[in-house]
Structure 1
C-alpha cells in the first residue's frame, strides 16, 4: 500500500509564487496541496476545515506575516509544523524563524530537491533550518568557527543540541535524557560558553551552521 501523501498548505501573497510552488510540488506523488492562502489571516481561517501535515509559508505577507502565523499556531494543540520561505538572505530572519517556532527555514532560490527534502524532514517531525543564510551567519561567528568541531562537545551535549533544535523545553530534554532540569541548565551553560552564544536560539543556529548537528 502506498503511504498517504504529505498534505501541504501554501501561503504567499504573490499568486505567481503560489502557482509555481503548486506546479512544482504537484509533480511529486508524495505531496498533495490541499489549501492555498494569500496571507496569514486567510491561512488560519481555512486551516480548521482541513487536515494539514506541513504549512509552507512566506515570511513577508500583508495582514499577518509568517512569523505571526508561527506564533498563533504555537498556541494550538496539534498544530501543523511551519516552513518559512524568504527571498532575503538575512541571518536575522533565520534567528527570528527559530524564535517564532518555525520547523523549517528556506530561501526561495533553494533547489527543488532542497525544498522536497525539507518538507519531508519537517513532516517526519524534524527541524530543518538549513540551508539558511550561512554566509552571513558564518561571518557573524567567524571569530570562533575555526576553534569548534564535533570533538569539542561530548555526546550528551550534542544530544541536547539536537533536542534544542527540535524545540524541546529544558524539562522535556531532561525527561528525554533522564536527568534533572537543573542538570540540563548546567549543560546548556557549558554549551553556550563553548559556542560563544548567550541563548538557545543562537546556539541552535550556530550548531546547524557549523554542521555540529
Structure 2
C-alpha cells in the first residue's frame, strides 16, 4: 500500500481478548487499521453507529449476540458495510444462514496472514467470498462424506469449478481460468447443481462446503 492510498479501517469482534489482540497486531502489520473492537455482536452494533468502517471482521460464535445475529441487525438498519466472518469447518452448517443474512465472506480462523489480507481487500472492493479462503488438500476429496449425500462423486475438474464458483467467478471467468469453452463450463455447472440437488449456485457452494467437497 503506497503513501497515497488510505489504509483500510476494520471493526474487530471476538469475545476472546487474546484473539483480538493477536488479530489487531497482525492487521497493523498488514497496514490495516483496527478502528474499533468489541467482545460481542451488540457492542459492535452500538460502536458502528458512531464510527463507520470499511470492513467488519467478526467471529461467528460469541456469547450474547453472535456474529450472525449481529449481521442481521446491521442489515436491518440499512448498514451495508461488508462483513467477513471468522469460522471453522465444524461450523459449516452456519454458512448458509450467514450468507442469507448478508455476509460477504468467510475466513478460516487458521488462515495465513496473506489470505486474511486478501480476503479483507476483496470484500472491501465489493467481492463475495462464499468459501473459506484456505482449504486443506485433505478436504479436497472428490466424494461426499455424508449419509444424506447422493452416491455419485465429484471429479477433480468439477471440484476445481466448485472452488472457482465459491470465489465468485462467472462462467466466462472460469472458462478463461481453466482454458475451457464457456459452453463447456456451463455444462459442468449444470451437472454440479444436479448432483447437489439445487438450481442455485450460492446454495450449491455452501452445500459443498458443508459436505467437505471443497
The TM-score normalised by the length of structure 1 is: 0.69
SS of aligned partner of 1:125 = coil
Q: Distance in 1 between matches of 2:193 and 2:52?
A: 42
Q: In the TM superposition, what is the alpha-carbon distance from 1:111 to its structure 2 partner?
A: 0.9
**Cα distance change on mapping 1:112 and 1:34 into 2, 3 Å:** same
- Unpaired runs of 5+ residues, structure 1, are 153-157, 164-189
Q: Which runs of 5+ in 2 are unaligned?
A: 171-189
Which residue in 2 is equivalent to 1:185? none
SS state of the match for residue 86, structure 2? strand
Sort the Cα spacing of 1:99 and 1:37 in 2 relative to 1 into closer, same or farther, 3 A: same
Q: CA separation of 1:206/1:61 partners in 2, compared to 1, >3 Å: closer, same or farther? A: closer
Tell me the C-alpha RMSD between the 2 structures: 3.5
Counterpart Cα distance in 2 of 1:132 and 1:71? 26
Q: TM-score, normalised by structure 2?
A: 0.69
**Aligned runs of 1:1-213 on 2, under 5 Å?**
2-29=4-31, 31-128=32-129, 129-131=131-133, 135=139, 139-140=145-146, 143-146=152-155, 149=158, 162=169, 193-198=193-198, 200=200, 201-205=202-206
Q: Secondary structure at the match of 1:26?
A: helix
Task: Give the superposition deviation at 1:70.
Answer: 1.4
Shift of 1:143: 3.0
Moved more, 103-112 or 127-136: 127-136
Q: How many residues align?
A: 180
Residue equivalent to 1:166: none
